Amino acid sequence: MTVRIGFLGAGLIATYHGKSLRRSGADHVIAAVHDPDEARCAAFGAASGATPMATEEAVLDAVDAVYVCTWTSEHPRLVAAAAARGLPVFCEKPLATTLAGAREMTEAVEAAGVVNQVGLVLRSSPSFLELAHQLADPRNGRVQAVVLRDDQFLPVQGMYGSTWRGDVSRAGAGTMLEHSIHDVDVLEWLVGPISSVSARSSGFHGLPGIEDTVVAGLGFASGAQGSLTSVWHQLLERPSLRRLEVICERAFLALEHDVVGPVTWTRPDGDSGSISGEALMAGVADRHGGRLPNQDRAFVEAVAAGRPGPDPDLRTALRAHQVVDAVYRSAAQGGAAVAVGGPG
Ligand SMILES: NC(=O)c1ccc[n+]([C@@H]2O[C@H](COP(=O)([O-])OP(=O)(O)OC[C@H]3O[C@@H](n4cnc5c(N)ncnc54)[C@H](O)[C@@H]3O)[C@@H](O)[C@H]2O)c1
C-alpha cells in the first residue's frame, strides 16, 4: 500500500520530515500540504511533490495519514480533527501548550484507535542509541547519577527564525517545554522513571512567559540522581548541543552531539574507548538490521500495516509532559521538591 501523507504546517520540521521520508524508502507519497503562509506552502509543495491545499480539511480529505507540524498551540485542534476522521497522525513535540491539552489529545487518539507517533527524536538518534547500547553492559553496575547540559541559541533567530517561539500563547513556555521535553524523555528512556524534581528557572531575554534558563534536579525511582541544565542563549555560532554524562557504579559514559558522537566509556581493567562519526553510525545500523532507525519509515510502515504506532507515541509524550509540568511547578515554588506521579 502506498501511504498518502498530508502535512499541516510547512516550516522547518515539516521540511525535515519531507526529506527524511524521501530517504526512508517507505512506500509513500506526500500528497497534500496546508500552511496559511502561502509562500511556505508553495515551496514545500514544489520540494516534496505535495499539492498545496487552501484549507486543513482539504488535506485531511486527501490523505491516509497526517503530520501535524504547526506551532504548538495548533497541535491539539488538528490532532483531534485527524482522530475524529480515524486518520493516523504523527504529531510534533511538544504535544500541547499545557499538560491538560496533551492528555486530551492522547485520549482522543487512543479512543479513535489510530496509529500515532511523536517527534521525540533522541530515541532514534545514533549517539543516544550508542549510549543506550553501552549502558546496557552489565559490567557497569547501577546508574548512580546523570548530568545533562543542553544549550542552543534562542530560537527566534538563526536557522529557526520563528517568532512564535517568543510568544507564550503559541509556544506555551520556553526552553523546558519547547526544547528540553526531548531531554526528560530520553533520560527516562535511558535511566527509568523520574519520581521527583526540584527546579529553578529564569529569563534573561525579556520574552514574557518564555524562560530561557532552567536547572532541574531529578530524582529517579531507582535512587539515581540527575541534573538537567537547559539554556537558550544568544551565541548564534553555537547550534543546539548536548553533553550527557552517566556515572554508574563501575563505568563512566559520556555523549556529545546527538548524531555523530563521540560516545566515550571508561570501565575497569583498561576497558575505555570512544566511538564517533561513520563508525558509530555503522555500529548502530548493524544492531538495527543493517540500517539506521528512521521514525518516519516506522510511522509509514505502521500505517500501511494497520498496527499500533511505534514508540514514542502520544502516551509516551504525555509522560514527558508530566515531568516538564512538575519542573514548572517546582520552579514556580522557588525550587521546592515536586513529586512526579506515575504515567497517565
Ligand atoms: N522534533 C524536533 O526535534 C523538532 C524540531 C523543531 C521543531 N519541532 C516542533 O515542530 C513544530 C513546528 O516547528 P517548526 O520549527 O517547524 O516551526 P516553523 O515556524 O518553521 O513552522 C511552523 C509552521 O506552521 C504553520 N501553521 C500555523 N498554524 C497552522 C495551521 N493551522 N495549519 C497549517 N499550518 C499552520 C506556520 O505558518 C508555520 O509555517 C513545533 O511544535 C516545534 O516544537 C520539533
> Nine-digit cell at 86?
480515524
Residues near ligand 1 (Cβ within 6 A): 8-14, 34-37, 40, 56, 69-72, 74, 92-93, 119, 121, 160, 162, 164, 178
Per-residue pLDDT of the chain (344 residues; tens, 9 = 90+): 899 999 999 999 999 999 999 999 999 999 999 999 999 999 999 999 999 999 999 999 999 999 999 999 999 999 999 999 999 999 999 999 999 999 999 999 999 999 999 999 999 999 999 999 999 999 999 999 999 999 999 999 888 888 999 999 999 999 999 999 999 999 999 999 999 999 999 999 999 999 999 999 999 999 999 999 999 999 999 989 999 999 999 999 999 999 999 999 999 999 999 999 999 999 999 999 999 999 999 999 999 999 887 789 999 999 999 999 999 999 999 999 999 988 76
Query: For 266-269, which contacts have Cβ atoms below 8 Å and span 24 or more sequence positions?
Result: 267/137, 267/139, 267/140, 268/139
Distance (Å) from CA 249 to ligand 1 centroid = 42
**Coil, strand, or helix at residue 33?**
strand
pLDDT at 308: 80
CA distances from 261 to 182, 243, 257, 293 (A): 17, 10, 5, 16
pLDDT at 145: 99
Work out which ligand 1 atom sits closest to the CA atom of 40.
Answer: 39
Work out which ligand 1 atom sits closest to the CA atom of 178.
Answer: 43
pLDDT at 160: 87
